[in-house]
Amino acid sequence: MEVLGIDIGGSGIKAAIVDTTNGKLISERHRIATPKPSTPEAIAKVVKQMVQHFNWKKDVGCSFPTTIVEGVCIHSGNLSEKWLNVKVNKLFKKVCDVPFHVSNDADLAGLAEMKLGAGKNEKGLAIVITIGTGIGSGLFYKGKLIPNLEVGKMLHTNGEIIEYFTADSIRKKEDLSLKKWALRFDQLLNYVRIVFSPNLIILGGGISRKYDSFKEHLTTDVQVKVAKFKNNAGIIGAAMYANSKISNTH
C-alpha cells in the first residue's frame, strides 16, 4: 500500500510516499526546516505544506518527537511547551483535511526496523535508539512494540537528563569530537544494558551513518546494529503505522 509518511524532528520535518510492503520510498524525500518557535500552529502549517507538496488526499502517518498517548502529546519534549495536552492527530486533521495517524517517532522508526530492517526476525528484547535533537527510544519484545519508553529522559550520574549529555545536538553545540561524543554515548548504552538486558540495540538518526567511525569507542557487549533505513526510518514507520490503522478499520 502507498502511504504518505511524515517525520517531525527538532531540526527538520521530512516526508515521502512509502510502499509499506517493503519500506521503499516511491517519491523523492521532501524536507522543510522545523519552524522556531515550534508551536502547534507553526508545525501544523508546515505539515499542511507537506500534504500539499505531495498533493495527498488520503490517510497520513506521522512520527512525532514526544510521547503520544491516544493521540495526545503528554509532554512537550524538545518542541514548544504549547504542545502539552494537544491532541495532535485531531489538530493535523483539522488543518490538512485528511485523516492523521500519529505516534512517537522512535516507536515508529523502531516499527520499520523490526518489521523490515535491522531487527527483522529478532525474537528477544530489542531497543531502537534514535540520536538527533534528543534521544528517542523504542522497546520491542518478540517483535511487538511496548510503547512510550523514554531512555533519553533517564538521569545521568551527574543528575542531569541524559539526552542533554548525549544527543547529537549536544555534540554539535559543544563542538565535540566524534570520539568524545561516543564516549558519552557509551555511558548511555551501558546504562541501557544494565537496566533492560536487551538482546539487540539498533541505532538510528543522522549520526548513525557515522557508526563505523565511532564504534571502536563503544564498550557494550550487547549486539549493536545500525538502522537499515537510517534517517528515513521515521518516515517509513509512520507510513506503516497509518497502514495498520487503516487495515484495522476495514
Q: Are 241 and 108 in contact (CB under 8 A)?
A: yes
- Closest C-alpha to 12, from 36, 39, 28, 40: 36
3-state secondary structure at position 67:
coil
The model scores a pTM over 0.95 = no
pLDDT at 60: 98
pLDDT at 39: 95
Cα distances (angstroms) measured from residue 205 to each of 86, 208, 241: 26, 6, 19
- Whole-number CA gyration radius for the chain: 17
Q: What is residue 209's DSSP assignment?
A: G
Q: pLDDT tens track of the chain, all 250 residues?
A: 999 999 999 889 999 999 999 999 999 999 999 999 999 999 999 999 999 999 999 999 999 998 999 889 998 777 899 999 999 999 999 999 999 999 999 999 999 999 999 999 999 999 999 998 899 999 999 999 999 999 999 998 889 999 999 999 999 999 999 999 999 999 999 999 999 999 999 999 889 999 999 999 999 999 999 999 988 999 999 999 999 999 876 5
CA–CA dist 78, 116 (Å, integer) = 28
pLDDT at 147: 92
Torsion of the alpha carbons at 74, 128, 151 and 75, rounded to the nearest 10: -10
Give residue for cell 526510518. Answer: 233
Cis peptide before 37 (omega within 30 of 0): yes
| Phi-psi label, residue 219: left if phi above 0, alpha if psi -120 to 50, beta otherwise | alpha
Is CATH 3.40.50.720 the right assignment for the domain spanning 121-227? no
CA–CA dist 175, 152 (Å, integer) = 20
Q: Are 44 and 91 in contact (CB under 8 A)?
A: yes
pLDDT at 52: 98
Q: Are 182 and 214 in contact (CB under 8 A)?
A: yes
Q: Where are the domains of the chain?
A: 2-107+232-248, 121-227
- Closest C-alpha to 25, from 16, 33, 36, 34: 16
223-226 and 125-131 strand pairing = unpaired
Torsion of the alpha carbons at 174, 178, 179 and 184, rounded to the nearest 10: 60
pLDDT at 78: 77
pLDDT at 170: 96
pLDDT at 11: 87
CATH superfamily of 2-107+232-248: ATPase, nucleotide binding domain (3.30.420.40)
Can 2-107+232-248 and 121-227 be said to share one CATH topology? yes
CA–CA dist 79, 149 (Å, integer) = 18
